[in-house]
Amino acid sequence: MSIRIIVPHRGLAAAKTRLATILHPEERMQLAERLLAGVLLVARQACDDVVVISPSVALEPMVSAAGARLVAQHGMGLNAGLEEARAAALAEGVTTLVVLHGDLPNIGTRDIHGLLDALPSPAGVVIAPDRAGTGTNALAMQPAGAIPFRFGIGSHAAHRAAAEEAGLPFVDLARPGLAFDLDTPEDLARWIELGDAA
């Protein structure tokens, strides 16, 4: 089994726009960089093959320093970028894909191992929802082309539907380290107050 973790990212300048009411642009970039660096550190501890897909080539130095590879995204949008990264993975013989968002401040290696351990064999999908239960913060699948990416509003239900349409078993994996993503001022306040317990 060949495993690749893909971390999609819009780039530091474009990240965390919903925090614009409380953070200056430089502060938002610093926070986005800290979050991404943390996710990459954990991802590399769990897997040798980590790729960041992003339209921002400016990420290359920090991605390389983390032991990951940057793939420049050409299409527009999250799902288009992930499909580009998937095409490269399939061409290179990757059998299992894991997608992690780059803003999971409390993620640990056990969370990634939990995703992989929960994967149905020989084929299936694992969906880690956000705290609201509507979004998808992490997604694992085997084979690598098992289902289309359907990130966006209501993505948790959309990914479940995609697995059902493909006739594949799926697992919902609720883990605090995967469920908490930092997007809003309320998220930031919660993280500051609770840290790993957020």
The pLDDT tens digits of the residues spanning 155-182 come to: 999 999 999 999 999 999 999 999 999 9
The per-residue pLDDT for 2 is 95
Over pLDDT 90: what percentage of the chain? 86
Tell me if the domain spanning 3-193 has CATH number 3.90.550.10: yes
Q: Give the type of residue at 84.
A: E
| Predicted TM-score (pTM) above 0.85 | yes
- Among residues 79, 197, 45, the alpha carbon closest in space to that of 131 is found at 197
Give helix 25-46 / helix 109-118 axis angle, nearest 10°.
Answer: 60
A 10 A CB-CB count for 93 gives: 9
Check pLDDT > 90 for residue 75: no
pLDDT surpasses 90 at 198:
no
Domain residue ranges of the chain, discontinuous segments joined by +: 3-193
CA gap 123, 120 in Å, rounded? 6
Strands of 69-72's sheet, edge to edge? 69-72, 50-54, 3-8, 96-100, 136-142, 124-129, 170-172
